[in-house]
């Protein structure tokens, strides 16, 4: 079992262009306030907007002296990250 540091934001259901907007401010607020762990294990479908959302939160966190980590990334989302060549840029929990 891994040790998770930071507040956990668990995302369930689809994380697509149609749903990403409902998550953006919640993640930004948490990334401004403290380290954030994004639990993606409940994501059932994802597109490139899911990756953009994670990078937005990473940027906000870094600007505020915090970090973002992700855990439970679904295979489809991982494949997108690899396809775009950004998989190495997404910090994951050990």
Condensed to tens digits (0 to 9), the pLDDT of residues 71-89 reads 999 999 999 999 999 988 8
How far apart are the C-alpha atoms of 78 and 29, rounded to whole Å? Answer: 25
- Given this model, what pLDDT does residue 5 score? 58
pTM higher than 0.85 for the full model? yes
- Given this model, what pLDDT does residue 4 score? 44
Residues with Cβ within 8 Å of 64's Cβ and at least 6 positions away in sequence, in order, are 31, 32, 33
- Given this model, what pLDDT does residue 2 score? 36
Section 17-23 average pLDDT: 95
b/e map 37-51, b = 16+ CB within 10 Å: bbbbeebeebbbbbb
pLDDT tier for residue 93 given thresholds of 50, 70 and 90 = low
């Amino acid at each position: 079992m891994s040790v998770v540091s930071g507040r956990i934001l668990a995302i369930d259901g689809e994380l697509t262009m149609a749903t990403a907007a409902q998550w953006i401010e919640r993640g930004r607020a948490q990334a401004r306030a403290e380290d954030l762990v994004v639990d993606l294990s409940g994501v059932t479908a994802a597109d490139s907007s899911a990756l953009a959302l994670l990078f937005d939160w990473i940027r906000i966190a870094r600007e505020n002296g915090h970090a973002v980590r992700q855990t439970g990334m679904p295979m489809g989302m991982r494949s997108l990250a690899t396809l775009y060549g950004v998989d190495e840029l997404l910090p994951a929990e050990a």
